Structure 1
Amino acid sequence: MLVFVVVCVVMITIIWSSVKLLHTIWWRPKMIEKQLKKQGILGYPYRLMHGNTKEMTKLAMETNNSSTRSSMESPHDILPRLNPLLHNLATTHKKAFVVWYGTTPRVAIMEPKLIKEILLNKFGDFPKSDSSEPNSFTKLFGTGLASLEGHKWAKHRKIVNPAFHFDKLKQMLPAFSTCTKELIEKWEKLVNREGCCELDVSVEFLNLTGDVISRAAFGSNFEEGRLIFLLQKELGKLFIQSMRLNIDFSLLRFLPTKVNKRMRQIYGEVGGLVRGIMEKREKSIQTGNDDNDDLLSLLLKSNMNERQENQDSNAGMTTEDVIEECKMFYFAGQETTANLLTWSMIALSMHQDWQERAREEVLKIFGKNKPTFDDLNHLKIVNMILLEVLRLYPPTSLVRCTTKKTKLGDFYLPAGVQLFIPLHIVHRDPEQWGEDALEFNPERFAEGIAKASKDQVSYFPFGWGPRICIGQNFALLEAKLALSQILQHFSFELAPTYTHAPSAVITLQPQYGAQIILHKI
């Protein structure tokens, strides 16, 4: 009798698991596909488990095999190479279309009024992620502001915001200057040997922005901060490896593989390092011996003020919360700013007229002197160039999701749909940007962002609305300082070894590096 019961339980479990699996990998995706199709949201048909990833991979391979070097006649028309499947669908469907990433439907939204509706929504209808999803490797990088929702996001935003006010950024400028000076001195030594030198500036800028964040975030604990940066860098490489290995529904991420174990080890090491620095700093603040103006001190003081104002020790962030915010700051800020500087040097190497205009402005405003905060705010042409680079080479695209049936414009989207706002497409829409949308023309930003396009919600490299990136002013100040000081000391051009091959990994990067030839001025 007992054996019979056990067999029945096993059979019921197997049948239930099979039905649940079938529901997940076939019935649910096909039902969502049918609902989207009725509303005119079309795309490639859903394929069992893989979705459209096979077509995506095939088209990408065909594109790369046919031409590894993008045409220099139209170098900024990068979408056909970046994602040919997305390019094909965007050419056919101007309003919206769907791409299946495994069993997940990702609806691309390109209409400005719908984008505005998503990004300005204050009711939580379009969260960044579904909290019901299982833990993923992305959470190893930090679960700060960028990934929070609701009340917790609002509380963190209130506490973190004071650390990014302009007056606080002004105090961080010496840390920015120190790191940039070290980079310039290093490059000058290399150039002086031969009169010019070739460098992969993408690697140089990753090191620069890592050092800047280490100094700006941890100040006197710079060396410990730099160790955190190196660990986060290793974690990023391992994460890319895991992405290439994992397919939908794979359990590889939960298995004790060498890569997985090292990723979790780094997670623990980074948390331990940040915790140690935090505890020392908290003691200094409490005893009145802290004179640091770095991000960590500003964050801790703001957190303490929040608790005191509410007379509640639970009102602020927990120790774990502060650790996660620091980790997220590294992950979000280091690579995106490095990429902005990399693409800026590539663009100015392609467009020497704009390089000369930018250099003339820099030398006119502060000559060969070290720029002040006010000097940098007077750089109109350099600012226009950075904005145009962010238009053509945004770090990534925006993704939101639906957790219930949700109305968007005339659409009724079922639960479990990801909403994808492809910046590389929207930033190149001729209806919004004019016939020269594929060209590098910083002049379009001469009167600011609001007048650069037909609808200002067509430009959002840092997001839009209440969830706009809190670190955008930090990133732009850092980029402005570094680029202006490079222009002070060097002229530069593309090396013959450079291949223009933008590639979307986690952020938009030059696939084969950014080889630039520097000349001392």
Structure 2
Amino acid sequence: MAVAVMEALMIFIASCLCVFLILHLIKFFNKVWWNPIRIQSAMRAQGMRGPPYRFLHGNTKEIYNMRSEIMSSPMELSHQMLARIQPHVYSWIKLYGMNFLSWYGPQAQLVITEPELIKEVLSNKDGAYPKSVIQNYAEKLLGDGLVLSQGKKWLKMRKLANHAFHAESLRGTIPAMIVSVEAMLDRWRQEGVKEIEVFQEFKVLTSEIISRAAFRSSYLEGKNIFDMLTRMALIVGRNNYKVGISGIKIFFKTRDDIESEKLDRGIRDCMLKVIKRREEVMMGTEPDGFGSDFLGLLLKAYHENDETKKISIYWKIENCKHTEVH
């Protein structure tokens, strides 16, 4: 009797597992095959063409191959940069028109290049065009700051940013900008080299000016943060057109997964140190308590008693990170 009960239980469990797997397979194929084909057919019926959907990867392999080919060739001296920077967009505009449908994995993307339609989307008065959901490495790089936030959160961050980066507010940073430029020129004179890697030098200069304008800190103080953000951006770049299977990272992590998680923790730790240092130094030394730069405004909002104006420590870190990225 007991053996029969156990056999029945095992059959029941096996049946449940089979049903579970079948349901997940149906869901998986609906996402990566049936739904894209349905969307593609519906858009074509409305006259919206584009490169055909390819199973799992969409058009990402085509985009990657086009970009690899164009980047492997010498750059021409021309102001027509679209063909080099976005060769797939340049090519598909010629084939399918100013607006076309493309695919990032099973996710449909409507590419619009007509100025009037772009203006309508960007104005978004009725809130009909939500921001894209960014996942994976780009989410770690950009965080939940001004670029990715929406609704009331976006309005709150936008007001803070507008105040911090208004022309009147930035005017006070001109002396610091002059100091940064003079320091760079002095370094060039002292080194006495005939050739200068201008890209790297201006990258350092821009980073220092942004750091001073937003956080009143020197480039050297934020160098570690900038370096980690640069390494994170490289990870985003080399994985931008790679489409993975959802959920697989729970069981298997790539080298980039491990490195990006380590960098994300490192960036947050460094940001917290900068924030705590400002709190300790600035508290009670200025009328507004924390300063009038972007970091000061974020700290003021974090310590705000009014819940409608208050922001969390997470928002504070994400917006600091977002400012340094840009």
1:316 correspondence with 2:315: no
Report the counterpart of residue 144 of structure 1 in structure 2. 145
The one of the two structures with greater contact order (alpha-carbon pairs below 8 A, sep at least 6) is: 1
* 2:58 is the counterpart of 1:51: yes
- Correspondence 1:116 to 2:115: no
Say whether 1:39 aligns with 2:46. yes
What is the correspondence of 1:54-453 to structure 2 with a 5 Å cutoff?
54-60=61-67, 63=70, 68-72=73-77, 75-130=78-133, 135-141=135-141, 142-190=143-191, 192=192, 197-220=194-217, 223-243=220-240, 246-249=242-245, 255-288=252-285, 292-301=291-300, 304=303, 307=304, 312-313=306-307, 315-332=309-326
Superposition TM-score, scaled by structure 1 size: 0.55
Shift of 1:126: 0.9
Q: What stretches of structure 1 of length at least 5 have no aligned partner?
A: 333-521
Aligned-partner residue type, residue 144 of structure 1: G
Q: 1:212 to 1:87 in 2, by over 3 A?
A: same
Deviation at 1:139, TM superposition (A): 2.0
- For 2:23 and 2:98, the matched residues in 1 are separated by 40
**Residue 108 of structure 2 aligns to a residue in which SS?**
strand
2:101–2:109 CA contact under 8 A, matched in 1: yes
**Superposed CA offset, 1:275-320 (max 9, x none):** 222233234444235685543124323655xx3xxx5246311122
1:159–1:303: 8 Å Cα contact kept in structure 2? no
TM-score normalised by length of structure 2: 0.85
Deviation at 1:69, TM superposition (A): 2.1
Separation in structure 1 between the aligned mates of residue 105 and residue 269 of structure 2, nearest angstrom: 36
Q: Which amino acid aligns with 2:126?
A: F
What's the offset of the Cα at 1:253? 5.2
Q: Within 1, Cα distance between the matches of 2:94 and 2:292?
A: 50
- Shift of the 179–252 alpha-carbon distance from structure 1 to 2, 3 Å rule, reads farther
Q: Give, in angstroms, the shift of residue 250 of structure 1.
A: 6.0
Stretches of structure 2 lacking an aligned partner (at least 5 in a row): 1-7
Mapped partners of 1:70, 1:272: distance in 2: 40
Looking at structure 1, the residues matched to 264 and 64 of structure 2 have their Cα atoms a distance apart, in angstroms, of 31
Deviation at 1:222, TM superposition (A): 5.5
Q: Distance in 1 between matches of 2:218 and 2:65?
A: 48
Does the CA contact (< 8 Å) of 1:46 and 1:52 recur in 2?
yes
Shift, 1:178, TM fit = 1.9
Relative to total residues, which structure has the larger helix share, 1 or 2? 2
After superposition, give the CA deviation of every residue in 1:87-123 in whole Å (9 maximum; x if it has no partner).
2221233341112222122222122221111111123
Aligned twin of 2:19: 12
Q: 2:34 corresponds to which residue?
A: 27
| Compared CA separation, residues 315 and 295, structure 1 to 2 (3 A) | closer
Mapped contact 2:302–2:313 kept (Cα < 8 A): no
Alpha-carbon RMSD across the aligned residues, in angstroms, is 2.6
The amino acid that maps onto 1:14 is L
- The letter of the residue matching 2:87 is P
Tell me the residue number matched to 1:411.
Answer: none
C-alpha distance in 1, partners of 2:322/2:84?
30
Q: Deviations over 1:432-452 (max 9, x none)?
A: xxxxxxxxxxxxxxxxxxxxx
For 2:272 and 2:176, locate their aligned partners in 1 and report how far apart those are by CA, in whole Å: 22
Structure 1 residues 78 and 312: CA distance shift in structure 2, 3 A: closer
Q: Distance in 1 between matches of 2:69 and 2:296?
A: 51
* Range with greater deviation from structure 2 (258-267 or 163-172): 258-267
Is the CA contact (8 Å cut-off) linking 1:79 and 1:87 kept in structure 2? yes
